[in-house]
Amino acid sequence: MRSLVFLLLLAVASAKVYDRCELARILKASGMDGYRGNTLPNWVCLTKWESSYNTDAINHNTDGSTDYGIFQINSRYWCNDGKTPRAKNVCGISCSG
């Protein structure tokens, strides 16, 4: 659970674009290598293609939701942006940090 909280906080952190190796070191130090069966290369690849390692990345979806941060956390289910209709906010966090 601690690792998941770390991921969510990293996802909504202040604007920063990580270098690939810097992000890999942070993820490894935070215990993410092997978390829920996902290897460090999986996490790094995910963040590369979802956000180009950018914690400030935003993507607007056709369903009215928005994806935020380095992991592209979706406002329909995971966080509250105050704009997404019928949002669940299961993590109880703001999408903008």
Q: Which residues are catalytic?
A: 50, 67
User: What are the angstrom distances between the C-alpha of 30 and each of 19, 33, 66, 82?
Assistant: 17, 8, 27, 30
